[in-house]
Chains A and B, each alone.
Chain A
């Protein structure tokens, strides 16, 4: 703090604040203020489309104890955790391959190829999964025209599994990048040292590579978990509206029922779930890295 008294630093602080102020002001007005409004709404009362200044915790009690809401939140959590698990397990070997086995000059090409689908037409990709997995979809019609099955398979469409496959595909590239970055940071001589000291390749991986890449895995978990738990399109298109998740429930309360207070309580609850999971994983990460530091 004493260093802030230095006039040079004070001038630097002023210039820095002036420089960041336009962007910061925008974020405060259009992000912080709306989030604060939602937080406020969540403890107010909503009647006939109007929010009135009657403080209550009733919205939260309804969201956390109502059977319908509980089922939907539990489904969102199951889907998000399932997607995260599948995505990270599939992504790890790819990140490992690109980091350890691809020539340095070709690494950015591989990463570019992997990330392209992530940036393109999210909506259309989700819809294509509906077309692929649907009752009269590509898989069923394909298998039937070849003669492998006689009637359409039903276990591949309109269930939680279909939601997980679609979302895992949509967010797959996002998991690879952080894992790749953490693998790139590993000092390769540590791996050689492990093998020189008589460890097998598998044990070197288990005891050196994996623990050291854990920060990337944790980042991947968060970066996949957060958007999937709030996904709106997939439950609507793939679930056929029969498997709503938190985002769909938010839409119904905010716009269709026009109960903004309850909708806000759902939004805050969703942020709370995300926050708890995030903190949990960050703590886990600290424990993982603790002994090595």
Chain B
């Protein structure tokens, strides 16, 4: 297995390349220098306390959390409808309808943001965190649909029919049988959408108006070299939070597949 060994070495090298920039993040967040360069000049937690005492960070964080929570709940709800419809029913125009819903996945984000902006300005909707939520729901929904489709896919239709035969209504069947079985998929979708929204920049930057959102705030601070180390400290925390959310999401995704007896094909998509 010589071929296997050299491929493994390549794969490990690739992981190093993939993670190298992220690993540099804590290195410079704890480095006692305003300049992001080698050699390192000692350990400090000043950047974390500077970031912690920055009132703007907290306002932006509150806005970002509001956006991420709203967008993930709305997108997952829309995702449940669309995934259920595409898995359970045949109807005319299904391909076109699902195509439109999934379109943001294959459209440059800038185009989504700009076309939305043009319409919002034309209609006269003031830009705020509300308009960011509108945009985030749009780009999160395809991911929710993808995750939930695989959850509904592994659902055994005869369970549902058995419930009808035993006198349950469609609504109570959905609540008692289907919902618990796809619950892990729903939680996974909520967490993924939350992470996407928290991390998203383009829509948050162009549609927030005067409101500050975390990613846009970080971007604006990058212009000031003196502010960069504190932003790297903030970034370190954000990356840690994202990784935790994703790990929990992956756990629920796998549990969902195990619960309905499906085969793990790996990955969120």
Contact = CB atoms under 8 A, between A and B. Distances in A.
B112 interface: yes
11 contacts: A17-B92, A24-B101, A27-B103, A111-B267, A121-B238, A122-B201, A124-B235, A136-B35, A141-B37, A180-B267, A271-B107
A264 B118 contact: yes
A237 B89 contact: no
B264 interface: yes
Contact of A112 (B28, B86, B103, B250): B250
Interface in B1-57: 1, 3-4, 7-8, 10-11, 14-15, 17-19, 21-22, 24-25, 28, 35-39
Contact of A122 (B8, B38, B137, B199): B199
Contacts of B25: 124, 128
Nearest to B200: A122
B20 to A, nearest CB: 8
B35 to A, nearest CB: 7
Given A23-B78, A119-B242, A123-B201, A250 B19 contact: no
A271 B91 contact: no
A113 B106 CA distance: 24
A38 B81 CA distance: 28
Contact of B111 (A37, A108, A169, A230): A230
Contacts of B138: 26-27, 30-31
Contacts of A255: 206
B91 A20 contact: yes
Contacts of A195: none
B110 interface: yes
B85 interface: yes
A227 interface: yes
B116 A120 contact: no
Interface string A102-129: 0000011011111111011111110111
A52 interface: no
Given A12-B91, A141-B37, A23 B18 contact: no
A180 B269 CA distance: 11
B100 A32 contact: yes
Given A15-B91, A97-B4, 15 more contacts: A13-B90, A19-B81, A19-B85, A26-B141, A101-B8, A111-B267, A119-B192, A119-B246, A120-B239, A124-B235, A131-B24, A131-B28, A233-B219, A254-B114, A274-B108
B153 to A, nearest CB: 15
Interface in B74-94: 77-79, 81-82, 84-86, 88-94
B211 to A, nearest CB: 17
B64 interface: no
B100 A172 contact: no
Interface string B237-269: 011001100100010001000000000111111
Q: How large is the interface on A (under 10, 10 to 19, 20 to 34, 35 or more residues)?
A: 35 or more
Given A93-B10, A124-B235, A172-B18, A136 B37 contact: yes
Nearest to A228: B108
A-B interface, 10 closest residue pairs, ranked by CB to CB distance from nearest: A230-B108, A16-B89, A16-B91, A141-B37, A20-B85, A34-B115, A19-B85, A247-B110, A128-B21, A23-B82
Nearest to A35: B115
Chain B: interface size category:
35 or more
Contact of A23 (B81, B91, B94, B108): B81
Nearest to B99: A27
B239 A124 contact: yes
B215 interface: yes
A221 interface: no
A41 interface: yes
A116 B38 contact: no
A138 B37 contact: yes
B166 interface: no
Contacts of B266: 107-108, 111, 180
Nearest to B112: A31
Nearest to B1: A101
B91 A96 contact: no
Given A19-B85, A108-B254, A125 B22 contact: yes
A114 B28 CA distance: 24
Contact of A116 (B82, B90, B246): B246
